[in-house]
Structure formats: C-alpha cells, structure tokens
Amino acid sequence: MLEPKKTKRFTIGITFILLAVVMVLSIGLGSVRFSPVEIITALTGRGGEVSDTILWDIRIPRVLLAVIIGANLAISGALLQAVMHNPLADPGLTGFPVGHRYRCCSFCWLCLITLPLFR
C-alpha cells in the first residue's frame, strides 16, 4: 500500500496528465479536426495558415479559458468548505446567491442604460 503522501502525489500527477489529454482532445475536436501531431506542429509555429488561425484564435483560447474558470471554481469551492469547516458547504450558506442575483441584474440594467452612450 502506498503512503498517504505518495498517494496524494500520484493522484495529483494522474489528474494533470488527464487534464492535458482532455485539453489536447478538446483542441483537436471540432468541425475541422486536428491530430495531436498537427496540434503540436501548430504550437511550435510550423503549422499552416488555416490551422494556425483556427487553433490560436479560436480553440486554444477557449480551452485555456475553460481550464482557468474551472480552476477558479474549484479553488473557490475548496476555500468555502475550508472556511465553513463543512465538506458539504455551498454558496447558499453565506447568502451569496441572493446578492449575486442583485448585482447581476444591476449590471445588466446599467449596461442597457449606458449602451447608447457608446454608439
């Protein structure tokens, strides 16, 4: 049996490997499919003009943004559970959803009012 410290490192390593595989698959799949070799070629700057445009302007930013947003959500959930000392903690315990709805509606209203100023 592995020690808890080694098990934790192993789990984190496997998780990062799976994340990398899913990122490559996500970058490669779409209406225009790319093989992993084509993705690596485009990442090194030796791809064609069409593949570079599709990968660098559309797919890579989308995948990186999804990873960053997912990491932020995971961190915020872990922090909330750590602060509340409750592994089942959710944002409803702090009243966050109510304030969030108010801010979201206020922001949309403000955008609708100020939109004609920027035209």
Output the CA torsion 80→83→87→93 (10° steps). Answer: -60
Domain boundaries, the chain: 4-88, 89-119
Grouped pLDDT means (10 residues each) for the chain, 119 residues = 82 95 93 90 87 91 94 89 84 68 78 74
Report yes or no on whether pTM surpasses 0.75.
no
Q: What is the pLDDT of residues 33-42, one digit of tens each?
A: 999 898 888 8
From the list 73, 34, 81, 85, the residue with the least C-alpha distance to 56 is: 34
